[in-house]
Amino acid sequence: MSAVDALNVATRDWIRKTPSLIDTVFQADGVFARFKDRAKRFPGGTKITENIVYAGMPGGAHPAPGARFTNTQRQTTQRLQFDLKYYQVTVVVDKVTVQVLNKGPFSVFPMISQEMENAYRTLGVHMAIGLYLAGSGATYTYNVNGLAEICNDNSTSSFDGATYTNYGDLARTNGNYGSQIKGKITDIGGPISYDALESTYMDVTFGALEPRIGVTTPKAFSYIKQKFQTQQRFTESRTQTSPTVGFTSLKFNNADLMVSRYCPGSHISGTGDPVAVDFITETTRLAATPRTDYPTITGETLFWLTDEDPYLNFYMSDDEEFGMGFTGFIPDPSSDQLVGRVRLACNFTAPSPRHHHQLKGITG
């Protein structure tokens, strides 16, 4: 420590106490927050199972009365199966620091409370990042089965450059049910257009069931505002009928188009986001081909999501500890360190991937 001048000897620092720490790393993600608030509790078992109907029964027009019918039993149901995925954030504090030094009137803020708050925010961000990635293949096996995998048809590669043949332990190449578990994906490969937004939205609209969420990157959101802000259907909210300045979402048909910096695009690509880099490094640490940065993204992405139950679900263990609980601090017998972990066992499921659409390669 270097010597200080007379002014600093005679004058104490002033530290702003509210807020005591300014966040310069985390980003908000409204999509994951929406699912977390209505998470389904997983009560136990070896798998999360979603049963689906993939075909109709045999039948049709027939000849006059007395004709013989073909009595063939047809299987029309199948099940998607998903493993729970496990997440943890480690909290390490020093016993002397929190019990002897960081207290009383000399404590600007309680360090242990700040460490816990940071841990929970980190876990939430990890889930937001993981939502857009896959949970299968050599690299991301330990992640949730997210949108890169859901919104894929085994033909067009997702934003991460991969195609996903299987979903929920079923093969998309199967001649009976394969086409019914394919997600929708469109490679824009250039500027976004009204026709592209409208056609991809309608491609995942079935009767009265329409996407309720559109999530995209800040850059793509700006592209859309610049081109279509004058169209009322893009700018009205559920309660407003005229354009406003400074809004955080756009209305397109019946979907709220939102911004997330964790949606794959130029902001998060490569080493652009330090929390994403940490997440990728740890998530793939034991993989056959571990990564040290987020996938490099070409163009921006946008996802139309039908988030009504049961079309897109977030399951979380009902165990007190593994449902975003805390293990408590455990002393390290060889030091003054106290170690605890925030834990989560969870997964996302989309029993009908055809209700969700991925747009990639948006460049303007």
Q: Which long-range contacts (CB under 8 A, 24 or more apart) does 95-102 make?
A: 95/331, 95/336, 95/337, 95/338, 96/336, 98/338
Q: What is the pLDDT of residue 8?
A: 79
233 phi, psi to nearest 5 deg: -60, -20
Q: What is the pLDDT of residue 308?
A: 86
Q: What is the pLDDT of residue 112?
A: 87
Query: Minimal CA–CA distance to 304: which of 235, 203, 207, 221?
Result: 203
CA–CA separation, 114 vs 126, rounded Å?
A: 18
pLDDT in tens, the chain (364 residues): 678 888 877 777 777 766 666 666 557 677 888 888 888 999 999 999 999 998 998 888 888 887 888 788 888 899 999 999 999 999 999 999 889 988 887 777 788 888 899 899 999 999 999 999 999 887 889 999 999 999 999 999 999 999 999 999 999 999 999 999 999 999 999 999 999 999 999 999 999 999 999 999 999 999 998 887 655 454 444 444 333 333 367 888 999 999 999 999 999 999 989 999 999 999 998 888 899 999 999 899 999 999 888 999 999 999 999 999 999 999 988 999 999 999 999 999 999 999 999 999 999 9
Answer whether the bond into residue 290 is a cis peptide, omega within 30°. Answer: no
Q: What is the pLDDT of residue 152?
A: 97
Domains of the chain, with CATH numbers?
Answer: 27-53+79-104+111-362 (3.90.1690)
Q: What is the pLDDT of residue 226?
A: 86
Q: What is the pLDDT of residue 18?
A: 66
226 Cβ contact list (under 8 Å, min separation 6): none
Q: What is the pLDDT of residue 277?
A: 94
Cβ(349)–Cβ(175) under 8 Å? no
Q: Is the pTM of this model over 0.85?
A: yes
293 Cβ contact list (under 8 Å, min separation 6): 270, 271, 277, 280, 281
